[in-house]
Amino acid sequence: MNSPKANLEEPRLVLRRVVIENLAPEIDGGKYPIKRTVGEQVVVEADIHADGHDLLGAVILYRPERESAWLEAVMLPLVNDRWQGQFFVETLGSYSYTVQAWVDGFQSWSRDTVKKFEAGQDISVAAVMGARLIQSAADRAQGSDSQRLAQFAAELKSLSRAGEAAAKLARNAELAALMRRYIDRGRATTYDRQLSVTVDREKARYSTWYEMFPRSCAVGRNQHGTFRDCIQRLQYVAQMGFDVLYFPPIHPIGRIHRKGKNNAAQPSPDDLGSPWAIGAKEGGHMAIHPALGTIEELKQLQTKAGELGIDIALDLAFQCSPDHPYVKEHREWFLERPDGSVQYAENPPKKYEDIYPFYFESEYAAELCDELRRVVFYWIEQGVRIFRVDNPHTKPFDFWEWLIKEVQRKHPDAIFLSEAFTRPKVMQRLAKLGFTQSYTYFAWKNAKWELTQYFTELTQTPVREYMRPNVWPNTPDILTEYLQYGGRPAFMARLVLAATLSANYGIYGPAFELCENRALRQGSEEYLDSEKYQLRAWDIDSPESLKGLISRVNQIRREHRALQSDWSLRFHRLDNDQLIAYSKATDDLSDIILVIANLDSQNKQSGWVEIPLADFQLAPDQSYQVHDLLTEARYLWHGAWNYVELNPAVLPAHIFKVRRRVRTERDFDYFL
């Protein structure tokens, strides 16, 4: 019996000489995308090398998700076989990118031919080899380019005995440009992964948030606020310079196990409960609390806000009160305890009897996820595009990755803010899998070394590729000791730090601008008479309000591009640890902002700050001006080291515009 004849040929070995490795940015081997906003640049680097001494060529290949054709951006060598290139992302959605590199036979021939000629060696054979390379490119080219390359090939072949003329042709710029256009990439190496960029709208990179409870917006004391009252409050928010107005949950509030004032377990009949205890007989996550108004009135509010440049952001809290319709209709979505009761939320020793968490490990989890997706799309249909997500770290990562992809596939302008004050790796995972912005530890970072170390990590390490910080000095849950005991200067300092360290920041007001610092008890970060459990009547016209300072700080942010992104943040030496100094600048240095803040809310502090003259392109022997944008004061500084002094009772910070000296044709100096 004859053996069956092999009908499969062995795959032909293709030797690709170029190696591409250590590509950056790349998150977890390409599993997760990096983040950019429309118009931003993606800088790509990679180690690219090959055997031998031939010269190489390399490009970034990139394309929007909906396009099939690749675009190219040239990469150039840096040092030690490290290459770099860049491209811009121009549309919302997703981009793919990778790197391709090849041995550049023509460049190698040109370099070696010139070297041989300069060394007095015969280059006749080299000229013939060069002519072959050029003719090969002519065969690949079309039209006039093909004709021109053929002319070059013929000319070089005819000059094979004329060394000087052949060497001159090897240096010809026109020939080099044509050869780059029609390079032979038949044995090019393409990086083994296609990486992704998620491209968001500008507000993902630069936004200014104001959190407000709609139910506390009524003019009259002890009256429940409405969306109509919120419309009257819009001008106040806009005048302070905020472009995102965020509401805690606006849904019906449960009555079973409702919490009373100051989180009391036994409420009085008129207690309103926590907005985060979502759901009652009036409805659940797709319903509005009747006392706030109707969906039509919410849309009127959105329209009025839009006219003022403000987006309305809603809270996405995936949890239920005991009397939420889901509890009755879909008990399988909750964890049942051995005694037959539903497991309520706990963070021992804290108990939240008024909240039932969803149970994502049940056999009905898929139906639960579909329903929660329906909730998000319902609010998107009502015009909402920004969601602050409550406690995302208590739900499965896979759920959020799936949900956010589902939303952004249809609505790439949607923004999700992760409210996860938890372990660093958990916060980072949520950012990787799709959350647009992330809360941070800023509220608890008070010392100079803490702020420097933390914000350097956020802006100068690979974390910055996927995690966009949104910093808040206070929230309805967080009244730090620094604010409790630091008084008005502490609020001013934290405002300036938040607004200038990060391009995205927010405050919970009116508590912040009115310097509300009364804690529930010593050692607690809960507010006394917390707005989470009762109405608060805020005197927004109080002469003690910080709204004037807030307005000015936010105006500075709008007028200075340096403060509208984070990656240029650099900290500077200052010989007093109670003072902190840092700067942000645009790439072209047309806008340089220098911030110096007093971290001591009780005492005047002074010191000497070192200005990085070379980084700011300042001559060591020339003076320059620092213009305080908060007070309009101007100072003439000289050299690297200059004196500063800040009294927190007056103003605990400088926000300086660094102005370089410019001399006109008539020898008239001014500061730019």
Domain contains 89? yes
Task: Looking at the structure, tell me whether residues 534 and 448 fall in a common domain.
Answer: yes
Domain contains 494? yes
Domain boundary among 515, 534, 560: 560
Over 583-643, what HEC string results?
Answer: EEECCCCCCEEEEEEECCCCCCEEEEEECCCCCCCCCCCCEEEEEECCCCCEEEEECCEEE
Is residue 160 scored above 80 in pLDDT? no
Domain contains 528? yes
The span from the CA of 45 to the CA of 78, in Å, is: 9
The span from the CA of 126 to the CA of 131, in Å, is: 9
What b-and-e string marks burial along 11-36, b requiring 16 or more CB atoms within 10 Å of the CB? eeeeeebbebeebbbbbeeeebbbbb
Task: Looking at the structure, tell me whether residues 428 and 527 fall in a common domain.
Answer: yes
Task: Looking at the structure, tell me whether residues 91 and 158 fall in a common domain.
Answer: no
In this structure, of 116-125, 371-380, 646-655, the range with the lowest mean pLDDT score is 116-125
Percent residues over pLDDT 90 in the chain:
93
Domain boundary among 560, 582, 603: 560
Domain contains 2? no
What residues does 246 pair with on adjacent strands? 211, 313
Tens of pLDDT, residue by residue over 165-221, are: 999 999 999 999 999 999 999 999 999 999 999 999 999 999 999 999 999 999 877
Q: Locate tokens 């927190």: which residue? A: 648
Give the active site residues: 390, 419
Q: How many structural domains comprise the chain?
A: 4
Q: What is the pLDDT of residue 4?
A: 47
Domain contains 638? yes
Tens of pLDDT, residue by residue over 543-592, are: 999 999 999 999 999 999 999 999 999 999 999 999 999 999 999 999 99
Task: Looking at the structure, tell me whether residues 133 and 33 fall in a common domain.
Answer: no
Q: What is the pLDDT of residue 15?
A: 83
Q: What is the pLDDT of residue 664?
A: 55
Q: Smallest Cα–Cα separation from 329: which of 290, 371, 273, 292? A: 371
Is residue 6 scored above 80 in pLDDT? no
CA distances for 159 relative to 106, 112, 126, 156, 419, angstroms: 17, 17, 11, 5, 72
Domain contains 257? no
Is residue 672 scored above 80 in pLDDT? no
Task: Looking at the structure, tell me whether residues 609 and 554 fall in a common domain.
Answer: no
Number of other residues whose CB lies within 10 A of the CB of residue 48: 25
- pLDDT level of residue 1 (50, 70, 90 thresholds): very low
Q: What is the pLDDT of residue 219?
A: 85
Domain boundary among 529, 560, 591: 560
Question: Nearest 5 degrees, angle CA 495-CA 499-CA 500?
Answer: 120
Domain contains 261? no
Write out the residue range of the structural domain in which residue 444 sits: 204-252+280-317+384-560
Q: What is the pLDDT of residue 87?
A: 98
Average pLDDT, the chain: 95
Q: What is the pLDDT of residue 9?
A: 64
Is residue 667 scored above 60 in pLDDT? no
Q: Smallest Cα–Cα separation from 217: which of 535, 569, 448, 503? A: 535
Average pLDDT of the segment spanning 15-34: 96
Percent residues over pLDDT 70 in the chain:
97
Task: Looking at the structure, tell me whether residues 594 and 504 fall in a common domain.
Answer: no
Domain of 146, CATH number, reads 1.20.58.80
- pLDDT level of residue 475 (50, 70, 90 thresholds): very high
Domain contains 551? yes
Asked if 608 and 616 touch (Cβ cutoff 8 Å), the reply is no
Domain of 606, CATH number, reads 2.60.40.1180
Task: Looking at the structure, tell me whether residues 289 and 422 fall in a common domain.
Answer: yes
Over 363-428, what HEC string results?
Answer: CCHHHHHHHHHHHHHHHHHCCCCEEEEECHHHCCHHHHHHHHHHHHHHCCCCEEEEECCCCHHHHH
Q: Smallest Cα–Cα separation from 532: which of 249, 172, 242, 117? A: 249
In this structure, of 6-10, 109-113, 370-374, 483-487, the range with the lowest mean pLDDT score is 6-10
Asked if 263 and 272 touch (Cβ cutoff 8 Å), the reply is no
Task: Looking at the structure, tell me whether residues 477 and 394 fall in a common domain.
Answer: yes
Tens of pLDDT, residue by residue over 267-299, are: 999 999 999 999 999 999 999 999 999 999 999
Q: Smallest Cα–Cα separation from 99: which of 86, 89, 88? A: 86
The span from the CA of 428 to the CA of 439, in Å, is: 11
Task: Looking at the structure, tell me whether residues 499 and 594 fall in a common domain.
Answer: no
Task: Looking at the structure, tell me whether residues 389 and 498 fall in a common domain.
Answer: yes
Average pLDDT of the segment spanning 377-381: 98
Q: What is the pLDDT of residue 520?
A: 98
Domain of 57, CATH number, reads 2.60.40.10
Q: In degrees rounded to 5, what are phi and psi of residue 390? A: -80, 125
Is residue 528 scored above 90 in pLDDT? yes
Is residue 82 scored above 90 in pLDDT? yes
Domain of 397, CATH number, reads 3.20.20.80
Task: Looking at the structure, tell me whether residues 29 and 146 fall in a common domain.
Answer: no
Tens of pLDDT, residue by residue over 414-470, are: 999 999 999 999 999 999 999 999 999 999 999 999 999 999 999 999 999 999 999
Is residue 2 scored above 80 in pLDDT? no
Task: Looking at the structure, tell me whether residues 423 and 521 fall in a common domain.
Answer: yes
Residues 6+ apart with CB under 8 A from 69: 63
